[in-house]
Amino acid sequence: MMVHGDEGRGRKKSGFLVVSVNSYLGLGTQEANLARERGELPREYARMMLNYVGSPFCHRILLAVLPKMFGDHEAFLSIMDFVAAECKKMLLQGVRDRSGRTFTMCILHNTGDWQWHVKAGNLVRSYANVQKRPLTADSNPKGICHLCRAGQRGIDWEGYRADSEPRWYRSMYEEDPFGNPRPALNTIPHVPQEQPGFYTYDLFHTFHLGIGKSFVAGCLALASEQMEASQADARFAELTELYFAFCAEHHVVSYLSGISRSTIGWPDSSSFPNGQWSKGHLTRSLSDFFM
């Protein structure tokens, strides 16, 4: 199982923190299960399937909520103490059914967006520590990642090369990223010497609302330049028609009223598109549009 935390929006659009425990495994996805029934996927062995199909009550267990109006720090720390205590109890003691069988639960990771990790793990290194000014002789940047020393002096966090290993890779787990007080979730058993790895990124925030969104936005900008119209707005209108036609043909919800410069966060050609949508599935449908 994994602990998952995220802040949603209540009826009055105010922040609403939700903490739950999710299973890694489940009954699969509807698309994959249908493919297996059609014989398109092999059944040679028991596959580990995702937790999308079935009732969320079976694989998403609500632990606590905290409305923004009561979002003081002491209340949050109390919730974290409760979550950590329950997770340890389920691992070490478990629960017993009527037949006397004991069931235990092991938490492998805490997951969510980076903002959740910073709060739940009391991290001293995160995206908030990105260097905003040129380095000087006295600069001592903290770094931007709780897993490694990326962003510190001499360890470029943008160091990606095809012919060599990035410097930050060898610095994994070298420095403790946790502040004081130590986070309650750290009391949950973890991989020895790799406690920062307990706070792991998820696919949704990393790709669908992260690098994937920026990548697709850039693709849309390049695609708009291949349209026949001479004006930018007209080119995006052509691109919109193509996308809507794709959605209609493949029975995909478009989620957009149209594609424009504001949609992809591209005010002018001197800037980089970054995507302005908040629906993660839109990144997926736009990716399929290009495929």
Give the Cβ contact number of residue 147 at 10 Å: 20
Global pTM reads 0.81
CA distance 2 to 130: 28
Asked if residue 191 is part of any domain, the answer here is no
> Do residue 69 and residue 129 come from a single domain?
no
Q: Are residues 95 and 155 in the same domain?
A: no
Same domain, 61 and 30: yes
Instruction: Print the domain residue range for 172.
Output: 124-177
Domain match, 67 and 151 both: no
Q: CB of 153 within 8 A of CB of 44? A: no
- pLDDT over 60 at 223, yes or no: yes
Model confidence at 130, pLDDT cuts 50, 70, 90, reads confident
Does 217 share its domain with 165?
no
What Å distances lie between residue 225 and 121, 165, 263, CA to CA?
44, 35, 16
Number of separate domains in the chain: 3
**Residue that terminates a domain, selected from 119, 140, 155:** 119
Mean pLDDT of 231-240: 93
Q: Tell me: the pLDDT tens digits for 257-276?
A: 999 999 999 988 888 999 99
Q: In what order do the strands lie in the sheet with 2-9?
A: 60-67, 15-22, 2-9, 109-112, 199-201
pLDDT at 44: 56
